[in-house]
Amino acid sequence: MLKLRMIQSGFRTAWTHKVRAIFMILSVMIGIAAMTIVLSLGKGTEQKILSQVQKFFSARTIMLVSGGGRMEPNRPVSFAGNLKLHDVEEVAQQLADITEWDAILPVPGKEAQASGNSTPVDIVGHTPSAEVVHNFVMVQGRFFSETENRALARVAVITPHVRERLFGATDPIGQMIRIDNVPFQIIGLIGPRGMDPHGTDKDNEVLIPLNTVLRRVANVDYVMLAKFQTSNEQRLNETAERIRSIVRERHSIHQNEEDDFMIITPVRVNELIGNATRIFNLYLPLVAFVSLLVGAIVVVNLMLISVSERVKEIGLRKAVGATSRDIALQLLIEASSITIVSGLAGIVVGVLLLTQIVKLMSLPFTVSWSAVILCFIISALVGIAAGYVPARKAAGLTPVESLR
C-alpha cells in the first residue's frame, strides 16, 4: 500500500511539471519504439529472404555457376564464358543422383514489341526441363518441348508483367512478339514468381528454348549457370564434390589451381543469408540502443533537476520521520514507473508504425515478441539506472541542510 502511494505521488509530482514529464516519456518511448521496429524488421526481412530463396533454391538443389569469383563481401562475382552446355550434360549423365537439370543463359536489356507496344525485358534461355526444375506454374498454354529446343524454334513463354505491358487483358497465346526484330510466337504464360534473391524481377522475363537463345539471340556457345535437382538430400555435399571433380577435369584445371566456376549448395546459401541479415540483427539494434541510451541520460538529468527543486520537500519528509531509504525508494519508483509506462507506450507506437512500414517495404508483418519483452525489461532497467544517482543524492541530504 505504501509503495502504491509512492507511485501515485511520483506520477502527481511528474504531472506537476508537464513539460519535464513529456520529455522523460518521449526520450524513453522513442528509443523503445525504434528498437521494437528494428528488431521486428530484422526478423521480417530474414523471413522474406528465406521465403524467396526457398522458391528458387530447395534443400535438394545444387547450382553450378560460370566464373571463378566468390559470393563474398568485396569480391564481386565475375562470370566468364567457360561453362559449356556439354559440361552440364556430362555432369547429368555421370551422376545418378541428379534427377532433373536446367542450363540457363540470361540475356538482359532486350526490347520486346507486340501489338504496337514495347517494353524492356530480360531474355532467359532454358532447357525444356526448366518447368519441373523451377516449379513453373503454367497459367495459359504450355512450356516448350525438347523437339522445339533442338529445332531452334522461335517460340516463347512470357511472364505476367510482359503480358500486361504488351497485351493488357488480351489473350497472348498464339500472338507474335519481336525481340531485336526476330519474331517469336507466344505459346505459354507462367504465373507470378516475384523477385529472386538478387533482386531481379522474374515477372519481367521472356523464356525461350536454350538452343534458340544460343544460336539466334546471343550467338554464344556457353551458358551462365546450371541448376541440378538431386534425389538424395543426405548425399548433397558428396554430389557437389563429384560435380566439382567432373568440371575441373573437363576444364583441365590442375591440382593447385582455383576453380573457374562456383558450386552453390543450400549450406552456402544459408551462410549468405546469415551475412545479409546480420546488419538487421546486430548493427541496427545497436543504433537503436544508442537512441535508448541517450533517452536514459535525459531521464537522469531531469530527475537530478527534480531532486534539486525538491530539496525542501525532502528535508520536511525527513524531519517528520521519513528515512533515507524511503526517500531513495520513492525516487526510484518515480523514475522506473515513468520509464515503464514510456516503454509500454514505445512498444505500442513501435508496433503501430511497424504495420505501416512493412506495407511500404512489402515485408511480412512479424512482431518479435522477444524484442517486446527485451524492450520492457530495458525500460524498467533504464528507470532504475536513471533514478539511482538522484536517489542517492536525495537520500544523502540532511533535514537541517534541506530546510535551511
Phi-psi sector, 129: left (phi>0), alpha (psi -120 to 50), beta: alpha
| Pair 154, 296 in one domain | no
Residue 106 domain-assigned? yes
CB 262 within 8 A of CB 77: yes
Longest dimension (CA), the chain: 104
CB 130 within 8 A of CB 188: no
- Residue 11 in domain: yes
Q: Let me know if residue 333 belongs to a domain.
A: yes
Q: In the chain, which residues have pLDDT < 50?
A: 70-78
What is the pLDDT, as a whole number, of residue 71?
A: 45
What's at 139, amino acid-wise?
V
Specify the pLDDT at position 205: 94
Q: Report the number of distinct structural domains present in the chain.
A: 2
Tell whether 271 is covered by a domain: no
Q: Are residues 206 and 147 in the same domain?
A: yes
pLDDT of residue 236: 87
Do 128 and 166 share a domain, yes or no? Answer: yes
Q: Is residue 58 part of a domain?
A: no
Contacts of 182 (CB under 8 A, 6+ apart): 154, 216, 217
Clarify whether residues 35 and 114 are in a common domain: no
pLDDT at 68: 61
Residues 112 and 197 in one domain: yes
Q: Is residue 61 part of a domain?
A: no
The DSSP annotation for 235-264 comes to: GHHHHHHHHHHHHHHHTT--TTSPPSEEEE
To the question of pTM greater than 0.75 for the whole model, the response is no
User: Which has the closest alpha carbon to 155: 133, 170, 172, 137?
Assistant: 172
pLDDT value, residue 106: 93
| Contacts for 11 with CB less than 8 Å, ≥ 6 apart | 334, 337, 338
299 and 203 both lie in a single domain: no
Residue where a domain terminates, one of 259, 286, 314: 259
CA distance 46 to 361: 13
212 and 99 in a common domain: yes
Residue 231, in any domain of the structure: yes
Same domain, 292 and 153: no
Whether residues 247 and 106 fall in one domain: yes
Report residue 73 as a C-alpha cell.
563481401
Strand partners of residue 106: 124
Per-residue confidence (pLDDT) for residue 28, from 0 to 100: 79
pLDDT of residue 239: 92
What is the span of the domain harbouring residue 133? 81-259
Task: Kindly state whether residues 315 and 347 are assigned to the same domain.
Answer: yes
- Reduced to 3 states (helix: H, G, I; strand: E, B; else coil), residue 179 is strand
Ordered DSSP codes for 72-119: BTTB-----TT--HHHHHHHHHH-TTEEEEEEEEEEEEEEEEETTEEE
Helix, coil or strand: residue 68: coil
CA distance linking residue 400 with residue 404, whole number of Å: 6
Domain stop point among 259, 291, 312: 259
Q: Is 398 left (phi over 0), alpha (psi -120 to 50) or beta?
A: beta
* pLDDT reported for residue 354: 84
